[in-house]
Amino acid sequence: MASSPKKAVAKDSGQEKGTGSPPAFTREQELKALRDMLLIRRFEEKAGQLYGMGAIGGFCHLYIGQEAVVVGMQMALKEGDQVITGYRDHGHMLACGMSANGVMAELTGRRGGYSKGKGGSMHMFSMEKHFYGGHGIVGAQVSLGTGLAFANRYRGNDNVSLAYFGDGAANQGQVYESFNMAELWKLPVVYVIENNRYAMGTAVSRASAQQDFSKRGASFNIPGKQVDGMDVRAVKAAADEAVAWCRAGNGPFILEMQTYRYRGHSMSDPAKYRTREEVEKVRHDSDPIEQVRNRLLAAKVSEDELKKIDAEVREIVNESADFAQKDPEPDPSELWTDIYRESASK
């Protein structure tokens, strides 16, 4: 593993080019980034394991490889800022501070899950953490996230919403309907396009006429930037810029995060559309967690300290897996609840 951060996966040919290394993190920031990314990685590995055991059913889309994106973005937010994403959402929830127990128990369909077991992997929410889902329809979260920004503007606060979507969703029509309204009404929304290079099994080059996603807002005059999404420092720096732009009332901003998912699209994806060598190369050259770990080691943080973080994270994840398997399934009466809210009396 190289000790200096490598340029990420894809070529850096955006509207605005980053030059050289992004601003350095403090030791505390590096340690926090490492811990948060490790938590997501270990959680997802465990989820994959539980899926293989049959404890998790249906669809299960793992975030392994993309951890730097949500962790870096989250570092730029303040209380009240909202987050919304698609169905590859476990990492976003953990980054928002939602509990590993609640997320894992939702994956296993138990009553202690964030949606009482009624939503599953793709549909979880937390009003407390301002996480608005978890959406299973590709691209729907882009209009919804624009609506979150609309609400901020309507209320006159200075909060910003982050609407995450992938390179696949970026080709949906409602994305551009939303871009148009967001710029027209100067809504404070950062569109974070997680370009992991494959929409399910279709490579970007086979699906997208314009492969530079930072330019996808150009005809609406929305500024955009390509970012090395494997380097958490680069993500944080871009997030700071985009969030500040939105908070100041300038309208939306697009960030294309160049990233990579190591696992298949979902658990039942045999991943025949790419070579094992390609995956190995990304893991070897630009793994987001190894980058931070190597920087910390170079800065004379001891192996022992890093092992302690790893152990702490593993304990959280193991406990969540334990909880998620012991927690009872929802009571059958839950079938009939939460369909309507009772009308408040006048």
Partner 1 sequence: MPIQVLMPALSPTMEKGNLAKWLKKEGETIKSGDVIAEIETDKATMEVEATDEGTLGKILIPEGTADVAVNTPIAMILADGENAADLAKVPAPAAAPSPSVAEEVAESRSPVGEGKPMISAPHHPSAPASVSEPEPEVPAGTEFITQTIREALRDAMAEEMRRDPDVFVMGEEVAEYQGAYKVTQGLLQEFGARRVIDTPITEHGFAGVGVGAAMTGLKPIVEFMTFNFAMQAIDQIINSAAKTLYMSGGQMGCSIVFRGPNGAAARVAAQHSQDYSAWYSQIPGLKVVAPFSAADYKGLLKAAIRDPNPVIFLENEVLYGHTGEVPKLDDYVVPIGKARIVRKGKDVTIVSWSNGMTYSLKAADELAKEGIEAEVIDLRTLRPMDTETVVNSVKKTGRAVTVEEGWQQSGVGAEVAARIMENAFDYLDAPVARVSGKDVPMPYAANLEKLALPSVAEVVAAAKAVSYR
Among 115, 121, 171, 208, binds partner 1 (CB under 8 A): 115
Residue 102, CA distances (Å) to 99, 111, 121, 322, 333 in order: 5, 9, 11, 12, 20
Among 8, 34, 37, 64, binds partner 1 (CB under 8 A): 64
Cα 238 → chain centroid: 15
Residue 227, CA distances (Å) to 87, 171, 258 in order: 22, 19, 6
| Residue 230 contacts partner 1 per CB under 8 A | no
Binding to partner 1 (CB under 8 A) within 265-304 occurs at 267-268, 270-272, 276, 283
| Residue 311 contacts partner 1 per CB under 8 A | no
| Residue 22 contacts partner 1 per CB under 8 A | no
Among 3, 13, 21, 49, binds partner 1 (CB under 8 A): 49
Binding to partner 1 (CB under 8 A) within 126-145 occurs at 126-127, 132-137, 140, 142-145
Stretch of 47-55, 66-74, 193-201, 224-232 lying at the interface with partner 1 (CB under 8 A): 47-55
| Distance (Å, whole) CA 58 – CA 108 | 10
| Residue 35 contacts partner 1 per CB under 8 A | no
| Distance (Å, whole) CA 87 – CA 189 | 19
Indicate if the alpha-carbon torsion angle 282, 94, 41, 33 is positive or negative. positive
C-beta of 241 vs 290, nearer to partner 1: 290
| Distance (Å, whole) CA 10 – CA 261 | 13
| Distance (Å, whole) CA 103 – CA 112 | 9
**Least distance between partner 1 and beta carbon 74 (Å):** 19
**Least distance between partner 1 and beta carbon 335 (Å):** 5
